[in-house]
Amino acid sequence: MSTSMLARHIPRTGEPLPAIGLGTWQTFDVGDRDSERAPLRQVLDAFLRGGGRVIDSSPMYGRAEEVVGDLLAARAPTAQPPSAAPFLATKVWTSGRARGEEQMRASMRLLRAERLDLMQVHNLVDWRTHLETLHAWKKQGLVRYIGVTHYQLGAFPELERIVASEAVDFVQLPYSIATRDAEARLLPAAAEHGVAVLVMRPFEEGALFGRVRGKPLPPWADDFDCGSWAQFFLKFILAHPAVTCPIPATANPAHLADNLRAGHGLLPDPTMRKKMIDYVGF
């Protein structure tokens, strides 16, 4: 198995990103006590040491931005190239230009970043207003990339229109072995228009593990370097050529290590992906 994580390139620029990211929904919304933050410190350290870069958050996620910013600031300084630095992605989740700008500047302060790698319009809230601001911010160098997100399948037609017409760099969407609606139009549209894809809810918020509880991993999973159900589900997603980076959230260092291993070795081909779907019955 390869020792370095698979990389996917951001279509607009060709910048490589490690193929497994880290979400912060619910998991990083904790208080100040060391007992709450210690596991997250371990997760974040292991993620960055393991070659991960993309850390995704939002003002919607409670204190997650603040916790990420605090933990990153507390890490011992290391001599690392820009290509290994955390790739900080967050979102704007409010209405109105002034409130949007205020919220985005607050996110920068909480994440302790003078410039954000990716700012996304969360769930398309007032997206026209915010995209106008974000295009201007991108020109000013306040953000490197801009994007849109939505968690509902019913929003896919609007996401597709935005991908096709609004010069966004990223789209974030739900996609898993059980929820493959994005394969019909949205993922092909992202590929056609050169838009990177972040995948939320790759485990259906843990429901996929319940669906396979007691079911053995198939022996042919070895054919694509897969050693666990988490890797099975993540490798299925990564095998779609339009996907840039799934962003599973976890507060468990062991689960984080398992997730990262999905970014190594072989990926299933289209025939194998069909076999995977049939085996798990989705």
Select from 3, 11, 1, 7 the least CA-distant residue to 195: 11
Q: What is the mean pLDDT of residues 160-181?
A: 98
Is residue 229 in a domain?
no
φ, ψ of residue 43 in degrees (nearest 5): -60, -50
Helices (H), 34-93: 34-49, 64-74
Is residue 28 in a domain?
yes
What is the per-residue pLDDT across 147-168, written as a single tens digit (0 to 9) for each? 999 999 999 999 999 999 999 9
Is residue 120 in a domain?
yes
CA distances from 54 to 3, 7, 87 (A): 19, 12, 5
pLDDT, mean over the chain? 96
pLDDT band at 123 (very low <50, low <70, confident <90, very high): very high
User: What's the domain count of the chain?
Assistant: 1
Q: What is the mean pLDDT of residues 104-109?
A: 98
Is residue 238 in a domain?
no
Domain containing 129: what range? 15-215+243-265
What is the per-residue pLDDT across 34-78, written as a single tens digit (0 to 9) for each? 999 999 999 999 999 999 999 999 999 999 999 999 999 998 776
- Burial degree of 181 (CB within 10 A; 0-12, 13-18, 19+): middle
Is residue 205 in a domain?
yes
pLDDT band at 80 (very low <50, low <70, confident <90, very high): low
φ, ψ of residue 240 in degrees (nearest 5): -80, 125
Is residue 232 in a domain?
no
Is residue 79 in a domain?
yes
Is residue 8 in a domain?
no
What is the per-residue pLDDT across 232-260, written as a single tens digit (0 to 9) for each? 999 999 999 999 999 999 999 999 999 99
Q: What is the mean pLDDT of residues 171-180?
A: 98
CA distances from 152 to 31, 140, 181 (A): 29, 32, 11
Instruction: Classify the phi-psi angles of 204: left when phi > 0, otherwise alpha if psi is within -120 to 50, otherwise beta.
Output: left
The domain spanning residue 209 has which CATH number?
A: 3.20.20.100
Query: pTM of whole model > 0.85?
Result: yes
pLDDT recorded at residue 1 = 44
Cα separation, 72 vs 87, whole angstroms: 12
Q: Is 245 helix (H, G, I), strand (E, B) or coil?
A: strand
Q: What is the mean pLDDT of residues 190-206?
A: 97
